[in-house]
Chain A
């Protein structure tokens, strides 16, 4: 039982359907504290759905989500609401609130925590500095570049001081240089703040830049899971082999 303590997240036997079609069927995934995991899977394989279940935004029909030793979701029942899970997420489309400035986006994101105004201000200042966007505080999202918007979404997520950060292909639309710079920043932040990451991606640059382990979702379950070196040395799944092949070519 002692390894349960270091397990930050455990998903067991998840079943999730849209209509009749099962998206997840028997999916199980563990993430350790401070780990950085890349989640691979074909388009439509249910990666976003898995992240949403972990965050508590969807409820599976069967299975369990355990966070920090507490049962968060159990068999179609939501026991811990999303904002009490210590989980933050950067969405595929970033989901920045368009009418609010950068600072207001972060402030509204903090409003669930019941902080005092001063604490709020401090956190906003902190996280703006950490993400190197202090000079953008008063701008609206639509007036920012893609890379700047990523940082804002990241800052809003990190201001919550999450233990687990879920990233759903957030770097998709970025050019290589910007991507590398955001990745570097993420890696540094993870080092400083010590949160765990689950990164959904198709991109070996992102995996190498940020992740130390890798999982593959296929046919509704996790078919491969291991440390990055191990998977690279001996990939089991089809997607895993293809991914390693392209990664080694580079």
Chain B
């Protein structure tokens, strides 16, 4: 391949990557058209909406602050002093990210029955929502800090340790990881902007709720579209400066390959503190609400009816989650392979992915709903089916899968493909025989991650599901208002157990795959 051919190949890779990203934003295009061309009976800047917008913004700030305050120190302690093997506690931290926020909120609401102090429980209003959502989002900066800290070289840390002991180690590491942690915390805040769940349960106004009201209660699609665009604009406005400053740090933390990562140091006090912190966070963020869910489920168990609901909703839930996982992970794999040769392309794609993630999920969903009303009936398989839900969810969750895949592809040694081209191994053959199998553990984890996140989503599903085909969390959300507490609690508990089980299976499976190469 000479220079010209190389440039063409690079340009083609860039174009395909851009096309995939464009596909991810495509569902929102009908919404853009509707918002610009349609007319609405209501004014966009109503007092209610502005108030909700402000409330959402302060909630997002609260979430960012709470999650940063918890995530940065715990992430540092885990990376620097955590257990060397089996970081099961760290993996478990992802749990609150994977559960629908309303589910945990239901648990919180049931807590006072246990006799906990009345002033604090149930957490309610703005403070309660910020606390609960901040706790739930803390794993994001926590895991980002952990990844960034692991990327410091072991010798950097050792040098700091020789110079001034653990205090210097901690300050140096904190300064190095702070940019990443802050970006992750802000991202968590921005994500909470579009999460109607907890705010709904705690009865504090939020813009995401307003959009849903415009859409469902007022039936005004154009208004919903415009509100959605305002939210998207706000998310963009907030994301852009964060990315401009933090992207290189984020990219280095998330995508860098590291030859000699930091090995945790044995330190009784700090190691113990880190472990205790992780356990405490998990107990408070998941344990307490799980307890809240357990109590009514134990007092008035309705597991038979709950199981029936689970079975009834299983086909739809599986179709949505598995479909979304397949869409997201296959596109993500392609994206990761396309960007493996060029740092600049990788940075650009990462930035675009973060922007995509920050956009409100309702954007694509309302866009598709709008497209469905104007599209001819023979296109229903595309616009009003289970496939629609799966595809829109998959595109929505593409950033999550893509970051995981890009990280895995970054750890492939470039000399593997050099050796292959020197031997003349056909490109496709190499892909199937080496690249894909080596990526398989990450592909499995990515599939599971997207599936669980897709299951947890209620925004997209609620807007798009074909009649009678609600997913399990959606069913819980719909029956919440007028069903016995015992049933809601039993259902939520079953769901929680299912997710924990799935995570266990996936972790064990990928660990087994990795071990297989090492020992046979």
Instruction: Please report A residues at the B interface, Cβ cutoff 8 Å.
Output: 52, 55-57, 59, 61, 76-78, 81-84, 87-89, 91-93, 95, 97-101, 108-113, 138-140, 142-143, 156, 160
Contacts and interface: CB of A to CB of B under 8 A. Distances in A.
A100 to B, nearest CB: 7
Given A78-B1, A98-B517, 6 more contacts: A97-B416, A98-B438, A108-B430, A109-B419, A110-B423, A140-B518
Nearest to B1: A78
A139 B425 contact: no
Nearest to B513: A99
Nearest to B423: A109
B425 A111 contact: yes
Most buried by B among A61, A97, A142: A97
A185 B360 CA distance: 64
A57 to B, nearest CB: 5
B433 A82 contact: no
B429 interface: yes
B43 interface: no
B519 interface: yes
A59 to B, nearest CB: 6
A38 B430 CA distance: 32
Nearest to B429: A111
The secondary-structure label for the interface of chain B is: helix
B377 interface: no
A101 B424 CA distance: 19
B169 to A, nearest CB: 29
27 contacts: A55-B422, A57-B421, A59-B2, A59-B3, A61-B3, A76-B2, A77-B2, A83-B421, A83-B423, A87-B422, A89-B422, A93-B415, A95-B415, A95-B419, A97-B434, A99-B438, A100-B434, A101-B520, A110-B423, A111-B423, A111-B424, A111-B426, A139-B520, A140-B517, A140-B518, A142-B518, A156-B419
A23 B420 CA distance: 25
A137 to B, nearest CB: 12
Given A76-B3, A78-B2, A83 B424 contact: yes
Contacts of B517: 98-99, 140, 142
Contacts of A61: 3
Contacts of A160: 423
Contacts of A91: 415, 418-419
B413 interface: yes
Interface string B468-509: 000000000000000000000000000000000000000000
A62 B413 CA distance: 28
A21 B6 CA distance: 20
Interface in B424-471: 424-426, 429-430, 433-434, 437-438
A84 B424 contact: yes
